[in-house]
Amino acid sequence: MGSPQMPSRRFLPFTVEKVSDEEEERLKAAGFLGYGDLVRTDPSSVRLRPGYARLAETYYNFEFRPDDTVLLSFPKSGTTWMSEALWAMRNLGRLEEADEVAIDDRLFFLDSDFLLPITAGDDTPAMKKFARACPEGRVEDGVTLQMTAAHKGPRILKTHLQLELLNPDLLNTSKVVYIARNPKDVCVSYFHHCRKNTRLNFKGDFSDFAEAFMANQLLFEPFWDHVVQAWMRRSHENLHFMFFEDMKRDAHGELRKLATFLELDLSDEDVHRVADHCSFGQMRAREERQSEGRGPLYNVPGFFHKGEIGGWKSVASPELIDRFDNWILDNNCGIDIPFRYE
């Protein structure tokens, strides 16, 4: 008998290169001070942080498992909300742990390895945890990627990488949840995020931001490719496609559908507990308590802004709304993702 077959490593069907100096200069001039050295994939032009280039093949070959739950989203679409909901559904017996441990430390945020990479030799709790979990591991091969691979499971994983940058076997292997939000509110939420986040350090105004968003120049863009790749596969039995706006309208009903998809036997009371646990008020209060004393990642308190639908109306001029509407028409034409804007 031969030894068990190791899956063969796939070659990347795309390359990763630096964005042009001209684009970088234009972004800087528009106020994107934290956007140096971005890379882009070719084809598709997905904008990512430079550390992605070295790890692209590892991401593409990352092995998912049948007992994984994988959360995918474009940034600012309700990822943290759904992370908390997924974690709560799987950990109903110990919800109080959420008061002590930040959500990204209760699941695996795969993108950390290029968004907030740890440097070899850092004397931090994260580095110590890595050394314990992966004694043979090398920081440059991705700390979170290796810790995730070393975990016995079941695992909850989240990433903003679009489907085509991930292992093509993902949907045939694991349960995948995709959360989408209307692009106008995503853009406004992303704008506030980039202003508050000291690494992204955006100093321009909303119209500059919206122009860059519509030109697909922001991290993890293009927005439409991201959503469309999941939308086109929405009838796959392992994909559960959700909308932020539906969660706002009826969190209980949406969580009930999610539990059914995950094959979790939850009572009505359980679903109420999950909805309550991940309500806006509870999540914001938890985050504010936990961010006390943490590094200055945000220059004003709070990752959470308002968590509402339709915020774009108060920040965009009528001309900009017009341009945005045309951009949506051009991109959603024939695909017709039923986004709701109010």
Question: What is the contact surface with ligand A3P in residues (CB under 6 A)?
Answer: 73, 75-81, 189, 192, 278-280, 283, 304-307, 311
> Is 128 strand, coil or helix?
helix
Q: What are phi and psi of 315, to 5 degrees?
A: -115, -20
Q: Which two tokens stand for residue 169?
A: 């076997």
For ligand A3P, the closer of residues 14 and 280 by Cβ is 280
* Residue placing its CB nearer to ligand A3P in the complex, 261 or 280: 280
Burial of 318 (0-12, 13-18, 19+ CB in 10 A): exposed
First-to-last C-alpha distance (Å) of the chain: 62
Report the residue number, 142 or 311, with the smaller CB distance to ligand A3P: 311
State which residue, 203 or 306, has the beta carbon closest to ligand A3P: 306
Give the residue with the Cβ less far from ligand A3P, 149 or 275: 275
Closer residue to ligand A3P, CB minimum distance, 192 or 240: 192
Q: How crowded is residue 165: how many other Cβ atoms within 10 Å of its Cβ? A: 23
Residue in the block written with tokens 């969190």: 251
Alpha carbon of 187 to those of 74, 75, 206, 213: distances in Å? 11, 10, 9, 7
Assess contact for 38 and 114: CB atoms under 8 A.
Answer: no
Question: Which pair of structure tokens corresponds to residue 21?
Answer: 């100096």
Nearer to ligand A3P, 53 or 110 (CB): 110
| Dihedrals phi, psi of 326, to nearest 5 degrees | -65, -40
Query: Apex CA 22: angle with CA 222 and CA 315, to 5°?
Result: 50
| 221 closest CA partner among 12, 50, 75 | 75
| DSSP 8-state assignment for residue 222 | -
Cα of 202 vs its chain's centroid, Å: 19
Which residue in the shown chain puts its C-beta closest to ligand A3P? Answer: 307
Q: How far is the CB of 280 from ligand A3P (least distance, A)?
A: 4
CA–CA separation, 336 and 88 (whole Å): 32
Tell me whether residue 289 or residue 306 sits nearer to ligand A3P (CB atom).
306
Q: What's phi and psi for 268, nearest 5 deg? A: -60, -40
Q: What is the rounded CA–CA span in Å between residue 326 and residue 324?
A: 5
Which amino acid, 153?
Answer: G
**Cα separation, 244 vs 180, whole angstroms:** 6
CB nearer ligand A3P, residue 53 or residue 212: 212
